[in-house]
Homo-oligomer: A and B are copies of this chain.
Amino acid sequence: MSDLETWFEKNRTQCEADLFELLRIKSVSADSQFRPEIRRAANWVLGQFTRLGFAAELIETAGHPLVFAQSPAVPGAPTALVYGHYDVQPPDPLGEWISPPFEPTVRDGNVYARGATDDKGQMLTHVKATQAWVETQGGPPINLKFLIEGEEEVGSEHLTGYVAEHREKLACDCVVISDSSQFAPGQPAITYGLRGIMYFELRLTGPRQDLHSGTFGGGVTNPANALSRILAALVDDRGRIRVPGFYDDVVPLTEQERAGFAKLDFDEAAFCRGLDVSETTGEVGFTNLERRWARPTCDINGLWSGYQGEGAKTVLPARAGAKFSFRLVPNQDPKKIAVALRKYLDSLCPLGIKMELIDMHGAGGVLVPLDSPYIAAATRAIERGFGNAPVYIREGGSIPIVTTFREQLKCDTLLLGWGLNDDNTHSPNEKFCLADFHRGIRASAYLWDELARI
C-alpha cells in the first residue's frame, strides 16, 4: 500500500493536468453544435484506458458514443462496474462565469470549469486510482469494468438500451458511481437514496401570429396567461403536487431516517446565506433535507413567451412554452404519473389554445440497502482515503441509470460522492475541490483493495 501512497504523491500534478485537459473539451450533450467536442471527449477517455493496457472500445449509439473498458481478469475476485459520464451541462448563462467555463482555472484550491465535479473530475478519480494500481502493482486486485457515457445530462437515452442488451458483458457484483456530493466539507458520505425524475416541455399555441394586445386583448385566449394558470395549478398552497394520484405510491420516510437526517449537522441559516435567499419554502410538514432528499417536487426549469427584449411591446403572443420537471421518490412510477399528468393538463387547457406536452425523459427513484458487504467496504475505503468515516445520506438529484443497473444487472450501486453541495453543478462557476479530487483517487484505490478482501 505504501507504493500506492508514493504514487499518489508523485502523480498529483499529472493527475490534475489530465483533469484540466478533459475539462477543456466542450462536451455539451444537449446542443448538437458541440457534437465534435463530445466525440473528442469520448476518445480522450478511451485513451486513458488503452494507455493502461485495458481492453477498451468506443461503442457507437444512435446518440453520443459510450466508452467501455475492462481490466485484465483476476479469477475469483469480485467485479465492480464503474459508471461515469464525460458529457456536461450547457454552460449558459455565460456572462455569470468568473473564468470561462472551458478554461479550467484554479482559485482557492478549487478548479473552476463546466464538468469539474459533474462528472469529469469525479469520474476521473476511479481512472486515476486504477492507473495507480496498474503502475504500482501491475493491475487492480479485482475485476474492473468501466462504462463512461456521453448522454447523462440529456437522459441517458441510449445507455439504457445498451445495458439491457449487454447484461453479460456488464455483469458485476456492484456498481460504483461518483457523481454526487459529500455531506459537507470534511464530511464524506455514502448516498443510499436518489430521487427519480420526469422532465417535460409544454408548448401552447394561440393565434396564428403575435397580435396587438390593444386591438385583440380580452377577445383572444392569451397563451402566456394560459401557461401561467396551468403551471400554477401544478402545485398547491402547501407545496403538494396536484396531479391526481401523484402521491399514491410514495414510500414514506421511516422514523429512523428522519431521526438520522435530524442528527446531521445541517445549518439552514447558512444554507440560505449561501444561496442569498432570506427564507425557503417547500412542502409543509417536512424539513429542508427531507424536502430535498426524500419528497417529490415540481420545478419549472424554463419559461418563454412573447417579447423578452428591452422596453414595452404591446403584443399578445402567439405562443408560450415551459420546461418543467418532477423529482420522484422511490416507488413512484414515471410512466403512470406521465399519463395522469397529461390528463390533468388536458383538463386545465383553456379554449382557443392548442397544447403539446413533450415527455423528455423519466426515471424512478432508488433506495440501496445499507446492510451489504459492499457498503461496508466502501465505508472503510472512504475512511482510509478521507481520514473520516462517511455518513449515510440521500440525494435530491437523479441518476436514472442506477435504476437500470438494478433492474438489468441485479446489483446495487455504491454512490460515493466526492463533490460538495456548493459545487455549482448545472450552474455558472462549477467547481471541484482539488484536495477532494486527490482524496477521491485514494478512496477509490482503497475501495479496490477493500472489495478484494470481501
Contacts and interface: CB of A to CB of B under 8 A. Distances in A.
A327 B217 CA distance: 8
Nearest to A96: B209
Interface string A213-251: 111111111101101110111010001000000000000
Given A224-B300, A235-B225, A305-B300, A93 B210 contact: yes
Contacts of A211: 275, 426-427
Interface stretch (A1-9, A332-340, A377-385, A392-400): A392-400
Nearest to A327: B217
A32 to B, nearest CB: 7
Contact of A309 (B30, B239, B280): B30
Task: Name the residue among A181, A221, A288 with the largest chain B CB count within 10 angstroms.
Answer: A221
B219 A292 contact: yes
Interface stretch (A37-45, A67-75, A312-320): A312-320
Given A228-B227, A277-B206, A314 B291 contact: no
A340 to B, nearest CB: 20
A454 interface: no
Nearest to A289: B219
Contacts of A222: 299-300
Contact of A320 (B303, B313, B360): B303
A225 B299 contact: yes
Contact of A282 (B218, B232, B279): B218
Task: Name the residue among A299, A305, A307 with the largest chain B CB count within 10 angstroms.
Answer: A299
A207 B426 CA distance: 14
A301 to B, nearest CB: 5
B311 A360 contact: yes
A100 interface: no
A278 to B, nearest CB: 6
A62 interface: no
Task: Name the residue among A303, A305, A317 with the largest chain B CB count within 10 angstroms.
Answer: A303
A444 interface: no
A168 interface: no
A277 B353 CA distance: 7
Contacts of A397: 212, 214-215, 314
B199 A351 contact: no
A32 B310 contact: yes
Contact of A213 (B181, B301, B360): B301
A232 B229 contact: yes
Nearest to A426: B212
Contacts of A275: 207-208, 211, 216, 220
A312 B154 contact: yes
A424 interface: yes
Contacts of A279: 221, 351-352
Interface string A334-355: 0000000000000000111100
Contacts of A271: 219
A101 interface: no
A175 interface: no
Contact of A427 (B155, B315, B322, B398): B315
Contacts of A181: 215
A341 to B, nearest CB: 16
Interface in A251-280: 271-272, 275-280
19 contacts: A92-B309, A201-B312, A209-B429, A213-B299, A213-B426, A215-B397, A218-B292, A218-B295, A219-B282, A225-B231, A228-B303, A279-B352, A301-B316, A302-B306, A302-B317, A311-B360, A313-B426, A314-B397, A315-B427
Interface of A: 30-32, 89-90, 92-93, 96, 154-155, 181, 195, 197, 199, 201, 206-222, 224-225, 227-229, 231-233, 235, 239, 271-272, 275-283, 288-289, 291-292, 295-317, 320, 322-323, 325, 327, 350-353, 360-361, 395-398, 421, 424-429
Given A218-B282, A304-B304, A312-B361, 19 more contacts: A154-B311, A199-B312, A207-B276, A209-B424, A211-B426, A212-B397, A213-B297, A216-B292, A218-B291, A218-B297, A219-B289, A219-B396, A221-B281, A224-B322, A231-B232, A302-B313, A314-B397, A314-B426, A315-B427
Identify the 7 closest CB pairs spanning chains A and B, nearest first.
A214-B397, A218-B297, A232-B232, A224-B300, A30-B311, A208-B276, A228-B231
